[in-house]
Amino acid sequence: MVSGTNDRWLTAEYALRTLYPKMEPELFWIDLFPTYKEEQPTFIYATDTSGASGDPKKKKPGLQRVGAKFPEIDMSMESVTPEAISARGFAIRIPSDLLRGPPNAIRNQYLKAYTRAGQWMAEALNTEVISVMIAGATTPTWTPTAAWSESTATPSKDLILLKGQMHREGYPFKLNQTFVNYTNFNELELCLASVDSSGNARAVWNAIQKPNDRTLVEPYSGVPVTYLNSSGLPEGHILGIDTRNPAVEIHYYNNPEFSTQNIRVQAGQNDNGAPIFKNATNFGIGFDTYKEPDTKDLVMQFMYDFKPVVTQTYGILYGSGI
């Protein structure tokens, strides 16, 4: 650990509450999927692969008879999988020459490192979630009219057809959220603007626009489309989910040596200008520092213990050709 007057800027508590506001706006999966804090880096999870209609033990309700009990039924057990939470991280080095200035100048070096690390950590977490979703997704038997960059593209029709691909007997899923690369999101915006000379679709679009600039609700299919930054979602592909029946779980582990259970972050100010704080969930993010004995450089270590898993069959669609 680093000792001296700057200790308060190098604690895990300070680092995490500085990192988190940089990360939170980028983490698309927050509030979409259930999260579970594990007490150790290993865990088990259950996967439903058959659905209600596909269960070989499926029964129909029997006729009730006077003085008789309803027949008891059984159902197939979900498959249980053991898993280990991924521990990943990187380090940022601050040369000793930059640590010789006044305290505020040194603190600015730390803040630069926290900002950059927060951006990279958010990108890494998003990419990990996207990769797991893609690996566990169903490929739709669906052919878009044309790439959305083409003049013959019909993204509204494509989204209507994609929505139909999630309907499956015995499963609860109904498509109500999609994710695309920013390039495809921009192509969708331009297409809606060019085909709707009357402005009707634009009026509907504005009426149901999501409360952020990354999501629009396509007016004819009613499907929200959100673009993701640097998430591992390639151009020309689309990822669809049902947020009401999430098919993904997030598991994380807070290493007590390097992390805190919660992150205390500023959430505004009161009428007197004093800061208001909130406790945010720490999804396995950790921090540590040390000073190299020979160079006297400061090394800041950023890490996370985090594992997304897919728990439902047919709850995710991953298609291409847009």
CATH of the domain at 263: 3.90.1690
Q: What percent of the chain has pLDDT over 70?
A: 83
Q: What mean pLDDT is predicted for residues 211-239?
A: 87
Residue 224 covered by a domain: yes
Angle, helices 12-23 vs 103-135, to 10°: value is 60
| Lowest-pLDDT range of 58-62, 130-134, 138-142, 279-283 | 58-62
Name the token pair of 121: 């950590």
- Residue 178 · residue 239 · CB < 8 Å: yes
Residue 70 lies in a domain: no
- What's 312's DSSP letter? B
Rounded percentage of the chain residues whose pLDDT exceeds 90: 60
Q: In which band, very low, low, confident or very high, does the pLDDT at 2 lie, cut at 50, 70 and 90?
A: very low
Residue 64 lies inside a defined structural domain of this protein: no
> Given this model, what pLDDT does residue 55 score?
59
Q: Is residue 199 part of a domain?
A: yes
Question: Cα angle vertex 267, ends 263, 269, to 5°?
Answer: 135
How do residues 61-105 score in pLDDT, each as one tens digit?
666 666 666 666 655 555 667 778 888 999 999 999 998 888 889
Which stretches does DSSP call E strand in the chain? 35-38, 42-47, 79-84, 86-94, 177-181, 215-217, 224-228, 237-241, 248-253, 262-269, 275-281, 285-291, 298-310, 316-320
One-letter amino acid for residue 70 of the chain: F
Lowest-confidence region among 60-74, 222-236, 286-300: 60-74
Residue 231 has pLDDT above 70, yes or no: yes
Q: Is 143 a domain residue?
A: yes
Q: How far is CA 26 from the centre of its chain?
A: 8
pLDDT digits (tens, 9 = 90+) for 20-74: 999 998 999 999 999 999 998 888 888 776 555 555 666 666 666 666 666 666 5
Question: How many domains are contained in the chain?
Answer: 1
**Within a domain: 221:** yes
The encoded tokens of residue 253 equal 């582990």
pTM attached to this predicted model: 0.83
> Can you read off the two tokens belonging to residue 156?
């509204």
Residue 56 in domain: no
Is position 37 within any domain? yes
The range of the structural domain enclosing residue 94 comes to: 1-47+83-322
Mean pLDDT of 227-249: 92
Which backbone phi and psi does 274 adopt, to 5 degrees? -80, 145
